[in-house]
Amino acid sequence: MRLTFFRAFIKGASISDTNATENLERECRSYRLPGVASAVCFRKMYDVIDTCGSEKYIASEWLETTLTQLKYLPNMRTYAIIEVILKAVLHSCIILEILKYVNTDYKPANILLSSTETGAVTAKVGDLGLVFPAGHRYEAQPYAMRAPEVFLGHACTESSQVWAVAAVLLCWIKPGVLGAWDSPHCLINKAWSMAKSKRLFPNWNIPSPDEVEGDSFKATVKSARRMSQEEPGLQAILPLEEEIRGVEMPQQLRELLRLVLVVDPSKRPSASSVLASKEFQAFETFIGI
C-alpha cells in the first residue's frame, strides 16, 4: 500500500468568537457559490470539521507564502510573479462579479503564492470570509486597499474590488504610500488614509463637512481635507504619476496601474476589461521577451 501525504492549511474559530465564527461560516458559503470551489484562482477548500458545537475548522490547500512575505525587487522574476498574480486575482473578480458578489478583503496577506523561485509560479486568492453580495457592504476593504467611493460612504461594488487589486500591487511595490500603518492614533486611521489617497490622487474630491451626514463622518472628512494639505508627515506623498515614476519598474506596469487606479468608479475598467486591455497585453509581451 502506498500512502500519500500532503500539507493542508487549518483555520479554526471558537463559538465564543462571534466575528471569527461568522467569517468562517461565510467562507464556507462562499465556496458553495457556483464555480468558486472549482476555480483554480481560489485556494482549494478540502474539508469542514465541526467539533460538536464548540469549534469549527476548515482544511484548505497549502501554499508556500504570501505576497506580504515577498519583497518587491525590480527584476524579471518579480514582474513575472506580478503577471501571474494579476491573472489569478482578476479572474477571481470576474467569477464573483458574474455571481453578483465582491471580495472586500483583497490584501497582500491574502494573495497566496508557491514556487516563486521557479518559472512555474502559482498564485491564488485565499480567505473568502469577507465575500458579500455586491452593493450590500459598507465601510469595507482594508484602508490601504479601500476604493475612493467606499471611503465616501458608498457600498463596495465590482468596480471597488478592481481598485483593490491594483492597490494591493501599489502598496506592495511602494510600502506605506496608502493606508493607516503610520497613523499617529487609531481614532484618525480613516481620515489619515483618506488624506493619503487625496495626496496620491489630487483630483479626488473629498466633500466638505457641510456636504455629508453624521457627526462622525463630518469630523472625518474635515480632518482628511486638512491633513492632506497641512500634515507634515503626509506632504512627502506625491501624485500617483510621480510616485510610480520614482520606483524602478517597466513602463508597461506603470500604465497598468494608471489604467486601473481611476478615482471615478464609473470610468474604472472592469476586471475582464483589464485582462483584455492593450496595457495588460503589453505587459504580457514584456514578460515574454
The whole-number average pLDDT for the span 249-255 is: 98
**Which of 8-22, 171-185, 229-243 has the least mean pLDDT?**
8-22
Give the model confidence (pLDDT) of 137-161 as tens digits.
Answer: 999 999 999 999 999 999 999 999 9
The whole-number average pLDDT for the span 161-181 is: 97
Which bin fits 235, alpha (ψ -120 to 50), beta or left (φ > 0)? alpha
Over 70: is that where the pLDDT of 277 sits?
yes
Instruction: Note the pTM of the prediction, 2 decimals.
Output: 0.94
Structural domains of the chain sorted by starting position, each given as residue range(s) with its CATH number in brackets: 8-61 (no CATH), 65-288 (1.10.510.10)
Average model confidence (pLDDT) across the chain: 95
DSSP codes of every residue in the chain: -------EEEEEEETT-HHHHHHHHHHHHHHTSTTTTT-TTBPPEEEEEE-TTSEEEEEEE--SEEGGGSPP-SSHHHHHHHHHHHHHHHHHHHHHHHTTEEES---GGGEEEE-TTSSS-EEEE---TTEEETT---S-S-GGG--HHHHTTPPP-HHHHHHHHHHHHHHHHSTTSSSSTT-S-GGGHHHHHHHHHHHH-TT--PPPGGGS-SHHHHHHHHHHHHHHHH-GGGTTPPPHHHHHHTS---HHHHHHHHHH--SSTTTSPPHHHHHHSHHHHHHHHHHH-
The whole-number average pLDDT for the span 221-234 is: 96
The answer to whether 182 and 234 have CB atoms below 8 angstroms apart is no
Question: Percentage of residues in the chain with pLDDT exceeding 70?
Answer: 97
**Position 161, amino acid:** Q
Residue 224 is predicted with a pLDDT of 98
- Helix H, strand E, coil C: the string for 38-56 is CCCCECCEEEEEECCCCEE
**Which of 11-25, 171-185, 239-253 has the least mean pLDDT?**
11-25
Cell matching residue 79: 514582474
Give the model confidence (pLDDT) of 47-79 as tens digits.
Answer: 888 877 668 888 899 999 999 999 999 999 999
Residue 289 is predicted with a pLDDT of 63
Confidence of residue 211 (pLDDT cuts 50, 70, 90): very high
Residue 206 is predicted with a pLDDT of 98
Confidence of residue 235 (pLDDT cuts 50, 70, 90): very high
**Which of 3-12, 82-91, 145-154 has the least mean pLDDT?**
3-12
Residue 2 is predicted with a pLDDT of 60
The residues with which 125 forms a beta bridge, in sequence order, are 42, 111
